[in-house]
Amino acid sequence: MRYVWDPTKDILNQRNHHLSLEDGIPALEDPNGQAWSDTRFDYEEERTINLGRGKRTILLVVSIEQDEEKEETIRILSVRKATRNEESWYYFGRT
């Protein structure tokens, strides 16, 4: 698995959420993580929301899958600390 992100979005994410996009990689690889399709808007691409354990806390990561040169690639779009409700979803499942 390969992870990529836009350097400009990474700077904005660090400014807004105090996390780099790279910080989301452990959450995406968390075997106990929760994932679902992001259907809030019509993004013209299939986005996935992941709740997973980062290095220090539970994170919410928004990403898209890309097939670049026959290597599965995940483009990370956003990373932030999970809210209390989202942490409950991680531990107990979404209702």
Domain boundaries, the chain: 2-92
For the cut 80, the answer to whether the pLDDT of residue 67 exceeds it is no
Backbone angles phi, psi at 54, to 5 degrees: -90, -165
pTM attached to this predicted model: 0.87
- Across all residues in the chain, what is the average pLDDT? 89
Among 40-44, 45-49, 88-92, whose mean pLDDT is lowest? 40-44
For the cut 90, the answer to whether the pLDDT of residue 72 exceeds it is no
Give the E-state strand segments of 7-91 in sequence order. 34-37, 47-53, 58-68, 71-81
Q: Measured between alpha carbons, how far is 23 from 19 in angstroms, rounded to an integer? A: 6
Question: Residues 54, 82: contact at Cβ < 8 Å?
Answer: no
Environment class of 29 (CB within 10 Å of its CB; exposed 0-12, middle 13-18, buried 19+) = middle
